[in-house]
Amino acid sequence: MLVVMLGGVAMPVRGAVGFDDLPPQSEAPTDQAMRAATRQVWAKLHGQAVEPAEVADDLPRIVILSISDGQHPAKVVHAGGRGLLAAAEAAAAKLPAGSKPKWMRLDVVTRVAPVTKMRDTFVGAYQPARDGLAIGQGDQQITLLSSQLLGGGFIDDQRLVVDALRLDVPGFADLWDARPVRLQRFSTVGMCYDGERMIPLLDGYRNLSDPTADELLDIANQAGRYLTQAVNDDGRIDYNYDPVTDSIDDDYNNVRHAGVLYAMAELYGTSPDSDLLAAIRRATDFLLALRREEKTSDGKDVAFIVDRTDQISLGGTAVALLALTEIINTTGRRDLLPLADRFADWIINAQDDRGYFTFHVMTWPQRRIVDYRSPYYTGEAVLALIRLYMITKDDRLLQAAVRSTRWQITTVVPQADSDVLHDHWMLYSSNDVSRFVRDQLIVKFCARLTRLIAASQHDGQYDRLWAGGWYVPPRSTPAATRAEGLGAARQVFLRFDDRQNASLARDVMRRSITYQLRTYVGPERAMFFRNPARVHGAFTGSLVHLNVRNDFLQHNISALLAYRRILLEKSP
């Protein structure tokens, strides 16, 4: 084995190493070796003294080094060498003098395969979320990490966006116009470093299979900072952001605004921050400006939310009430209680004696019932009512919540497993109702839904990056909502001493969190977008769908906090 020391006596590199010198599959460096190499390169770039590291490694290696100031897209270089440290040193030597990055990412190529006979499209085995591309060979070769291809808008499905590459990647045009064009695809393991935290990476995505409570809170806080800066002066929260183009579309959704506000208040209750509180106040004012108030036929004052399409939805008013209850609990705004009561009265007024909500949407001001029923509105309404009951102890709220819970669960019982909705709102509300009503119907419902959610979770056999997610391809929000719901279901199981299902819920949550963290935009992904500072802290729709909708962060924050609470407990 060759021992190479950076910062000590430089050992000669025995010959240049290129992609053709790598086997199709290379043994990945150890985590210890990756951390040592990353620290050495960071110290070298920042002119810091550091104890020389010894890493036994004589394998041919190619290192791709990416650096960013946190404001602009990354500068990327690559180099090969015999051994990890030699390759890392050779890559660092290619960076401009005086480079002192805020974020640095060191990737090591572990798999190489050719892309054959195609220029504009790739072979079917190409995976945009995983594969980088090496174009050309020798000194003119260009490497593009999967994070670059996606974040830079250089790939659309399985097609290169050649015009964008010509414009933004120096040297690409000359290589692309050559005949033939030589393409190789590759996978990596990596490490990202900001001078404090080491972040292990798999194919460019955060690789934390067992995150700590502190790590989860740090990521939730970063997501909270993203939302804080996304709240405009008028209280609107940037709805759908495209980090590839650094643009926001004009669409908006008031139900999701209320849900995001709920998660912001939940985060504030865990991690108080003055900027977050100011953003919550602006977003609350925006939401409450959408309300209308009136008297019912029996003289009761009620309030409801009217959205931008001049419709009143059960879900819109219910999630607005839910947000108010969380704001009251975490910020102490008792002045919101009278309005919360009026929202609750409107919700109860929409319920019949069985607990069934007679409509979900109506027009305003015509009050014409729209033929639409959301599968989620009942759970949202019940949760809002029971959360307000937990503040006011108004028994009417509890009775309304219990009626609807039993009605909803009873409708699910005869359904085939394949037809049962993975309804996190019903798991939330069932948990809170079970605090006050001991009902085996609730326990059986939560147990069945937990088993169905667990059975449909990706195990990683098809694609290791999909492990812990749901759907094809797996998306961030379905993973987060299921984790939220399972966190609530687990409390039901512990309350009824069902340890087996409590353990199952926790295990599925852990795997879900692992997948969610791959969709998180930490420094390792942010540095490849057009505006790294703006997108840092967000969650994208999936590994390949890169839009950032505000409700993505709502559910991810709540899921992270739910699993963090479990890590801080002593229960199984």
pLDDT digits (tens, 9 = 90+) for 217-233: 999 999 999 999 999 99
pLDDT for res 119: 55
State the pLDDT confidence band at 4, using cuts at 50, 70 and 90.
very low
354 φ, ψ (degrees, to nearest 5) = -80, -15
pLDDT tens per residue across span 410-422: 999 999 999 999 9
pLDDT for res 61: 96
pLDDT for res 10: 30
Q: Cβ contacts of residue 172 below 8 Å, gap of 6+? A: 135, 142, 165, 166
Burial class for 64, CB neighbours closer than 10 Å (0-12, 13-18, 19+): buried
**Residue 133: strand pairing partners:** 144, 185
Give me the chain's average pLDDT, please.
92
**Residue 132: strand pairing partners:** 186
State the pLDDT confidence band at 8, using cuts at 50, 70 and 90.
very low
Mean pLDDT of 507-512: 98
**Is 562 a residue whose pLDDT tops 50?**
yes
Task: Please tell me the distance from the alpha carbon of residue 285 to that of residue 483, in angstroms, as a whole number.
Answer: 30
pLDDT for res 6: 34
Q: Which of 137-146, 365-374, 385-394, 511-520 has the lowest mean pLDDT?
A: 137-146
Every domain of the chain with CATH number 1.50.10.10 lies at 213-567
Q: Are 447 and 501 in contact (CB under 8 A)?
A: yes
**Is 179 a residue whose pLDDT tops 50?**
yes
- 213-567 under CATH 1.20.58.480, yes or no: no
pLDDT for res 112: 95
Mean pLDDT of 372-380: 96
State the pLDDT confidence band at 128, using cuts at 50, 70 and 90.
confident
- DSSP letters, 184-197, are EEEEEEEEEESSS-
**Is 3 a residue whose pLDDT tops 50?**
no
pLDDT tens per residue across span 313-357: 999 999 999 999 999 999 999 999 999 999 999 999 999 999 999
Rounding to the nearest 10 degrees, give the CA dihedral for residues 481, 487, 488, 490: 140
pLDDT for res 571: 57
pLDDT for res 336: 98
Mean pLDDT of 493-502: 97
Distances (CA, A) of 339 to 147, 218, 255, 289, 512: 47, 34, 17, 12, 37
Distances (CA, A) of 68 to 8, 102, 248, 334, 532: 27, 6, 24, 45, 9
What percentage of the chain exceeds 70 in pLDDT? 95
**Is 43 a residue whose pLDDT tops 70?**
yes
pLDDT for res 157: 76
State the pLDDT confidence band at 12, using cuts at 50, 70 and 90.
very low
pLDDT for res 139: 80
Neighbours of 537 (CB within 10 A): 24
Mean pLDDT of 505-524: 98
Burial class for 301, CB neighbours closer than 10 Å (0-12, 13-18, 19+): middle
Cα 132–133–135 angle (5° rounding)? 160
Q: Is 488 left (phi over 0), alpha (psi -120 to 50) or beta?
A: alpha
pLDDT for res 16: 76
pLDDT for res 292: 96
Q: For residue 365, what are its two tokens?
A: 């001001």
State the pLDDT confidence band at 1, using cuts at 50, 70 and 90.
very low
State the pLDDT confidence band at 140, using cuts at 50, 70 and 90.
confident
State the pLDDT confidence band at 5, using cuts at 50, 70 and 90.
very low
What percentage of the chain exceeds 90 in pLDDT? 83
pLDDT tens per residue across span 85-106: 999 999 999 998 888 999 999 9
State the pLDDT confidence band at 51, using cuts at 50, 70 and 90.
confident
pLDDT tens per residue across span 434-473: 999 999 999 999 999 999 999 999 998 889 999 999 999 9
